[in-house]
Structure 1
Amino acid sequence: MNEQQLMQTRQHPLWILYQIGLSVKEVIIPVLIFFVFNIRNEALWVKLGSIALILYIIFRIVTIIFQWKNHTYLFTDKHVEVREGRFVSNKRYIALNRIQSHQQQTSIFHRLFGLTSLSLITGTSSDNAVIKFEMISSKEAERIKRIIQEKKQNTPEEIELNETPAKDKRKLHYKISFREIFLIALTSIYVIAIFPVLVSIYLKIDEIFKLETVALQVFSFLTDSWMLITITLLFLIVFAIGSGVIITYLRFGNYQVSSDHEQIYISRGIFNKTFYTIPREKINGLLIEKTIPRRFFNVVKVKVVSLGDLFDESEMETDTLFPFIGESKLKELLPEILPSFKLQEEMNPLPKQALFVNLIQPSYLLVIVTFFIFFFWPEFWFVPVIYAFSLIFYRIAKTYLTKYAQTEKWIQLQTGVLVTETFLTKREKVDELEVNQSWIEQQLRLATISITSRAKPIHISTLEHLPVETAIEYYLWFKQEASEDKMNKNRQVDI
């Protein structure tokens, strides 16, 4: 480890301005109230509120400066030392071999100054499971990743496996095509995402310039003839699809999936670039989702059920393996990327008794809706009738779309109606298998199983109304794995 690596390092000073910019949304409304709408108001509450707001802004800026000053990090041969805090600094030490994966995100603001954001994911489950550097140089990020990679390659088990450089072993499996981007936009809400934005802009402009009269004139002109109506509708459809494709391209453009023997690498983005890794040994299952529009194109979304610490899910889906891929292409690529995962093409449907159980289940919402409609709005008598028929159709579809399959080492469940989810996991990855029976299930020799898998957060899959013999078979299947684990532990203790 050279001297440069042993120096305490801070994040880029622009982090201060970045945090101040993020804090603006906290005070924007109070600023408008006290310094815009009530600027000439001499009331006492306005004066006191203005003073308090100014003091809070000063306090917030001071704390951000101290937070930047106290946040330092140091990489050694064995661990990373992180010091952080505002007025009281704390130190924590994380062993380099505990760092399992990383996530890198480069926004437009970062790219303007040659910076990036890097997060290191550890194997702990505490609140400090993620080490985040929100604003460091791209060169510094590469240095940190290189240190972690060198530590992994220097471990005894990695020395035997890494006879060639890791870069030579990485293989590109998938790169998104424009056709797939177009289909994502066509089968998602991106095609209509632009309209709420345009309506919001119109309402804000209307508050200033009063566009209601002009809007009515334009609407009257466009609806004056069928030709203009047709042209307008065609324009709106093309505009919606075009804007959806652009939004999808900016989000999923350059989406690539590659892997080596221990990590899966995923990168995407045009302006805001994102890169994250998924450790192979932390993948405990696959979740394959298919919405109704995408069933027409036989395409799915593939997510991993992982023990890793998946974070920032509000900003990005770091558990997504493929946002959009054809089923045939998935069956072709899955053996390359995750050779230990075996998709079962033939699955068993639920028995006929399951349909009867689903149909006779009471719907309290239907009772409430029917009561209010017939007592207060009897002219809308058709609403509960439509709802009842929709509910019957939904339950029939739920019964016929629910399927299951099980082999010696695998279990695969398919559930859902509007969005069907196929969950695939190994027996050794199942933490708990629970079998339940309601009274009606007991009479019809049915049962419900719940499977809990190791993940963050815990993943629970429930399969209702399967034959009781199958449920018992699954229970014995899981019990066998538990017995084998116990025997292995006892054997290790004896050794």
Structure 2
Amino acid sequence: MSESSDLKKLHPLTVVLRLTDSIKQIIVPIILAIILTFKGDISDSSWKDWIPSLVMVGLLFIYVIFGVIEWLRYRYRFEDEHIYVKRGAVIKSERYVRYNRIQSVRTRANVLHRLFGLAALDIETAGSRGRPEVTLPAITKDEADVIKAFVHNKQQTNMASSTDSHDKENLKPPETKTLYQLTLKEQVVVSLTSSAVGLILAGFLAIYSQLSDVIPEDTYTYLWGTVLHTSVVFLIVFIILCLAVLWVVSAIVMFFRMKAFSLTADEKEWVIKRGILEKKEQKIPVRRVQAIRITEGLLRQPLGYATIYAECASGSGEPGKGAGTSVLVYPLIKKTDIPKLVGNIIPAFSYSQEITAIRKNSLWLKLFRAATAPVVISIVLSILFPWGWLAFLSLPLAVLYSYLCYKDSGFGQSKEQLLFTFRTLAKTTVITKKHCIQAMSHSSSPMQKRFDAATAQFSVMASLAGKTFKVRDLPRKTAYHLLDWYRP
């Protein structure tokens, strides 16, 4: 790759990619426009009925025009000390990115990219704030590989020029020491036990909220009357069928997302690849990891499986600058294999300390907290509806949930490491280092004070506001002890 080459341009497919991204952002208004246009008899419609659809067509036409202009004006060049990018459909801008500020270079490819042998390339810097500093939406895969190698060589050269010749032998890229890949069986288990049902349900509810204004009021009246006069058995069967459909859809979505998942790790960096319809590659510098989070979902815990995440700080190295993120490190692993994997990919966070459980009388606190809302809701539903008494069937689930919260709460501590384990819906274990903790505190509610209990929590830099983890209903002396451990 020549440093003195002329300004390069993107592949024309960039226009199509930007248009598809724009359509995704306005898909709900497009659906609304179509419904408003065709809700009546087309033969009796006037030109005014076509206004919503015409507005959407005009908007898409504007997106195409701006996409073409953006593509024509987008130019880039890799120079001796920096990357130069020139762009702008309306407001022209020029950007220089120095190689020594680059944190990661990653590629991704959706179906359109792969059809044309292309890839998108994202360059992240210390101050990217969760978004790439430079994005090349469509370039050839060969050029993407050349750029990645070129940037890596530039970074190595810059490092070599700032060190003594005695240390130059240590500047060679570290050899890959671990490679983990999901088997087909594990991919199926990930898909069938995923929690993506909630995300898909939220998507349906979001679409419904946008369409509710155009649904006739008579339809609501009819549906509500049908529900009130429908047998309880039919309602239960209908709800179960809906949940089954959502589960199947979520399993299919998760299978394609986790297809070809792999984790490559060395002492400085992790490379995570996944996806079949849209291939993604993510690079995580190990030094940015602030905590390791292990979750055991309701479906995966009985099978002995868990998921590993890393809470990562921004690359700026300064508090408050840039946003961190939670990174999926490995989607499915046997719980017994977790210490070995963590020890291999990030030895500083390897753990072996014993977990101290909370006191037995804390079970009453958790039972009160879990059962109060179901009892109140059940009483209200019983008054309002003939079948409302069925809501009391949720009480055994509340009791079971409170017991699981009690059983899965605890902590572990060593000289420089802290481990919290707790449950929301999934059982969660968090391991962090003392120097990674941004803040630590404890608190007691009036109910906790009666049981001489407290909540201990700590925060790490994994978002603009930090990410907080807490264990409820610890003995108050234990909470004070943890705070003393953290104090300098």
1:397 and 1:49 map into 2 onto residues whose CA distance is 52
Question: Given that residues 72 and 82 in structure 1 are in contact (C-alpha distance below 8 angstroms), is that contact kept between their aligned partners in structure 2?
Answer: yes
Task: Report the equivalent of 1:484.
Answer: none
Aligned positions of 1:141-180 closer than 5 A: 141-156=144-159, 160=167, 163=170, 165-166=172-173, 169-180=175-186
Residue 45 (1) aligns with residue 45 (2) = no
Shift of 1:271: 4.7
Task: Report the equivalent of 1:19.
Answer: 18
* Cα deviation code 1:55-108 (max 9, x no counterpart): 434322211111212222222222222223221212232222121123321222
Question: Given that residues 441 and 457 in structure 2 are in contact (C-alpha distance below 8 angstroms), is that contact kept between their aligned partners in structure 1?
Answer: yes
Give the SS at the match of 1:414: strand
1:280 and 1:58 map into 2 onto residues whose CA distance is 45
Task: Report the equivalent of 1:428.
Answer: 435
2:257 and 2:283 map into 1 onto residues whose CA distance is 18
Unaligned runs of 5+ in 1: 195-236, 310-316, 481-495
- The verdict on how the C-alpha distance between 1:364 and 1:318 changes in structure 2, with shifts beyond 3 A counting, is closer
Give the SS at the match of 1:184: helix
2:143 and 2:40 map into 1 onto residues whose CA distance is 46
Of the three residues 370, 387, 398, the one matched with 2:394 is 387
1:92 and 1:377 map into 2 onto residues whose CA distance is 63
Shift of 1:32: 7.4
Shift of 1:40: 5.5
* Cα deviation code 1:104-125 (max 9, x no counterpart): 2122211111100111121115
Task: Report the equivalent of 1:280.
Answer: 286
2:463 and 2:292 map into 1 onto residues whose CA distance is 14
* Higher mean C-alpha deviation, range 246-255 or range 176-185: 246-255
2:473 and 2:247 map into 1 onto residues whose CA distance is 42
Task: Report the equivalent of 2:359.
Answer: 351
Give the SS at the match of 2:347: coil
How many residue pairs are counted as aligned between the two chains? 427
Shift of 1:13: 1.0
* Higher mean C-alpha deviation, range 436-445 or range 464-473: 436-445
Question: Given that residues 286 and 302 in structure 1 are in contact (C-alpha distance below 8 angstroms), is that contact kept between their aligned partners in structure 2?
Answer: yes
Q: Name the amino acid aligned to 2:270.
A: I
Q: Name the amino acid aligned to 2:73.
A: N
Q: CA RMSD in A?
A: 3.6
Of the three residues 74, 77, 102, the one matched with 1:74 is 77
Identity score, percent? 21
Task: Report the equivalent of 1:103.
Answer: 106
1:53 and 1:362 map into 2 onto residues whose CA distance is 48
Of the three residues 480, 483, 488, the one matched with 1:472 is 480
Of the three residues 295, 305, 318, the one matched with 2:301 is 295
1:57 and 1:251 map into 2 onto residues whose CA distance is 29
2:100 and 2:94 map into 1 onto residues whose CA distance is 19
Task: Report the equivalent of 1:440.
Answer: 447
Shift of 1:369: 1.9
Residue 121 (1) aligns with residue 124 (2) = yes
Aligned positions of 1:241-260 closer than 5 A: 250-260=256-266
- The verdict on how the C-alpha distance between 1:42 and 1:332 changes in structure 2, with shifts beyond 3 A counting, is closer
- The verdict on how the C-alpha distance between 1:389 and 1:50 changes in structure 2, with shifts beyond 3 A counting, is closer
- The verdict on how the C-alpha distance between 1:360 and 1:70 changes in structure 2, with shifts beyond 3 A counting, is same
- The verdict on how the C-alpha distance between 1:406 and 1:86 changes in structure 2, with shifts beyond 3 A counting, is same
Of the three residues 374, 381, 386, the one matched with 1:373 is 381
Unaligned runs of 5+ in 2: 201-243, 316-324
- The verdict on how the C-alpha distance between 1:20 and 1:329 changes in structure 2, with shifts beyond 3 A counting, is same
1:142 and 1:174 map into 2 onto residues whose CA distance is 22
Q: Name the amino acid aligned to 1:171.
A: K
Question: Given that residues 38 and 46 in structure 1 are in contact (C-alpha distance below 8 angstroms), is that contact kept between their aligned partners in structure 2?
Answer: no
2:480 and 2:128 map into 1 onto residues whose CA distance is 34
Give the SS at the match of 1:66: helix
Return the index of the structure with the highest Cα Rg. Answer: 1
1:69 and 1:269 map into 2 onto residues whose CA distance is 31
Residue 407 (1) aligns with residue 414 (2) = yes
Task: Report the equivalent of 1:60.
Answer: 63
TM-score (norm 2): 0.77
Give the SS at the match of 1:296: helix
1:450 and 1:416 map into 2 onto residues whose CA distance is 14
Question: Given that residues 378 and 388 in structure 2 are in contact (C-alpha distance below 8 angstroms), is that contact kept between their aligned partners in structure 1?
Answer: no
Question: Given that residues 375 and 395 in structure 2 are in contact (C-alpha distance below 8 angstroms), is that contact kept between their aligned partners in structure 1?
Answer: no
Of the three residues 266, 269, 272, the one matched with 1:266 is 272
Question: Given that residues 353 and 412 in structure 2 are in contact (C-alpha distance below 8 angstroms), is that contact kept between their aligned partners in structure 1?
Answer: no
- The verdict on how the C-alpha distance between 1:338 and 1:462 changes in structure 2, with shifts beyond 3 A counting, is same
- The verdict on how the C-alpha distance between 1:94 and 1:367 changes in structure 2, with shifts beyond 3 A counting, is same
